[in-house]
């Protein structure tokens, strides 16, 4: 290899490495923002679920004042389940988004690891 071309090739490899690191930082920031957003939505979801459970407790307590206790309790449980169904669907969606985010992070780590290994091999 020509004496002058070797530093140029190493310089190009270095620049490509820096460029990939900048892309990785950008994707890390986006992933962190997405992760924070998911956690915030989980907090809101937990508060909404707590309200549903608290309302169920109030309804169940009121059922004991009625003559048809079992029917009232059954209706209160049914109302609770109907209120929880959309919240459970949102939780499933959040879990799916978080799994996809973790998978992307894992792929990014593998890509970075491969880039580091190939850059190490490029240096004599």
The pTM assigned to this predicted structure is 0.64
Between 1 and 68, the higher pLDDT residue: 68
CB atoms within 10 A of CB 103: 10
Fill in the DSSP letter of residue 65.
Answer: T
pLDDT score for 114: 82
pLDDT per residue as tens digits for the range 50-92: 999 999 999 999 999 998 899 999 999 999 999 999 999 999 9
Q: Tokens standing for 87?
A: 């919240």
Q: How far apart are CA 101 and CA 36, in angstroms?
A: 12
Residue indicated by tokens 């009232």: 72
Q: At what angle do helices 69-122 and 5-63 cross, to 10 degrees?
A: 170
Number of domains in the chain: 1
Segment holding 123, helix H or strand E: none
Give the per-residue pLDDT at 117.
Answer: 73
Domain range enclosing 34: 5-122
pLDDT for the residue 92: 97
What is the pLDDT at residue 21? 53
For 3, the token pair is 């004496």
How far apart, in whole angstroms, are the C-alpha atoms of residue 50 and residue 53? 5
Q: By three-state DSSP, how is residue 4 classified?
A: coil
Q: What is the pLDDT of residue 85?
A: 97
């Amino acid at each position: 290899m020509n004496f002058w071309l070797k530093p140029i090739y190493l310089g190009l490899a270095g620049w490509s490495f820096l460029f990939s690191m900048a892309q990785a930082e950008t994707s890390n920031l986006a992933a962190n923002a997405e992760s924070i957003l998911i956690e915030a939505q989980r907090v809101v979801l937990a508060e909404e679920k707590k309200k549903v459970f608290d309302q169920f407790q109030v309804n169940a307590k009121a059922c004991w004042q009625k003559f048809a206790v079992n029917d009232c309790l059954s209706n209160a449980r049914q109302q609770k389940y109907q209120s929880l169904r959309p919240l459970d669907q949102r939780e499933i969606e959040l879990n799916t988004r978080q799994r996809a985010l973790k998978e992307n992070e894992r792929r990014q780590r593998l890509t970075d690891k491969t880039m580091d290994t190939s850059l190490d091999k490029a240096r004599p």
